[in-house]
Amino acid sequence: MTKAQARKNVEREYCLHKAAWLSAIAKATKKNGKLVYPKFEKFFDRERAMSELEERPEMSERSRKIIEYRKRKKGGTA
């Protein structure tokens, strides 16, 4: 197996483990039995993550175009 393939496998395993870990966190409950994250948006704020990307000056032009495309598509002007 080549090094590149081995690295790809390690990255895949990492993603699977991270997904399992996130799944466990998403199901976490407080002492009173209520969910820590009652809504997905509490767990991951996509809008905030996207706006943080826009604020990064080192973002590539391609990334900016993707974000603009998604904004247009979300607004219904695609």
Q: Which pLDDT score, from 0 to 100, does residue 59 have?
A: 63
Query: What is the secondary structure of 18-71 as a DSSP string?
Result: HHHHHHHHHT-B-TTS-BS-SSHHHH--HHHHHHHHHH-TT--HHHHHHHHHHH
Q: pLDDT per residue over 15-64, tens digit each? A: 899 999 899 988 999 999 999 888 888 888 888 887 877 777 666 777 77
Cβ(42)–Cβ(35) below 8 Å: no
Question: What is the domain partition of the chain in residue ranges?
Answer: 1-43, 45-78
Q: Which pLDDT score, from 0 to 100, does residue 7 have?
A: 84
